Amino acid sequence: MEKVEKDIVEITFHGRGGQTSVTGSQLLAECAYEEGFKDTIAIPIIGAERRGAPILAFTKISKDKPIRTYDSVKDPDYMLIFDISLLDIPRVLATIKEGVIIIADSVAPLDKSKFPDNVKVFIVDATGICIKRSFMHSSGPILNIPMLGAFGKVSGYFGLEVMEKVLKKNFGEAKLEKNMNVAKDAYESVKEG
């Protein structure tokens, strides 16, 4: 759908503590590597986070070249927004540059009036999918798997087969069906918004 062709593709994850965005950045790196990318790296920003506090994580993926920079992403190609209320934070809004592709957990189209020109927005009801499928932990929905399913569809970098392999390796056979149900729901329902 919206594949970015660059030497190194950079993705930011904006979530809140407990929404599993840091794990999502690591799983995305694994999915890209499994798909045949030469190099991938996940970079969490870990501080004094608590449940509900804004969280930031990054993933860099490269089809052909080794990744030699391990710094944070300043000009992402993709932004995964696990909680759209984070778009009200000026420092988050300031990272939205022209040409970025946003994938947001939302049921309604986003107000793009605050965004620069040429920003593409895709929405997926990741929270609704998690609630419907009882894909929850003690602090709420486990959003990383549906958000990765949506990212895989929008970017075209990996499909559900690769996700299945990575999820089985990370979470085991017993949790695979539940993980794949939410991934597939998001993969099939993400849309431009």
CATH of the domain at 94: 3.40.920.10
pLDDT over 60 at 78, yes or no = yes
How does pLDDT run across 41-51, given as a tens digit for each residue? 998 876 655 66
| 98 assigned to some structural domain | yes
pLDDT at 17: 80
Q: What share of the chain is helix, strand, coil (3-state, %, to 5)?
A: 40, 25, 35
Strands, E, within the chain: which ranges?
8-16, 39-44, 54-62, 78-81, 101-105, 120-124, 136-137, 140-141, 191-192
The token duo for 72 is 């944070």
pLDDT band (50, 70, 90) for residue 69:
confident
Domain that includes residue 180, residue range:
8-192
pLDDT over 80 at 177, yes or no = yes
Question: How high is the mean pLDDT of the chain?
Answer: 90
User: Total structural domains in the chain?
Assistant: 1
Task: Give the rounded percent of residues in the chain with a pLDDT score beyond 90.
Answer: 67
How does pLDDT run across 100-125, given as a tens digit for each residue? 999 999 999 998 888 998 999 999 99
| 15 assigned to some structural domain | yes
| 3 assigned to some structural domain | no
pLDDT over 80 at 5, yes or no = no
pTM over 0.85: yes
pLDDT at 46: 64
| 151 assigned to some structural domain | yes
pLDDT at 1: 65
| 2 assigned to some structural domain | no
Among 148, 110, 192, CA closest to 96: 110
pLDDT at 2: 67
Query: Are 21 and 144 contacting, i.e. CB atoms less than 8 angstroms apart?
Result: yes
Rounded to an integer, what distance in angstroms lies between the CA atom of residue 175 and that of residue 168? 8
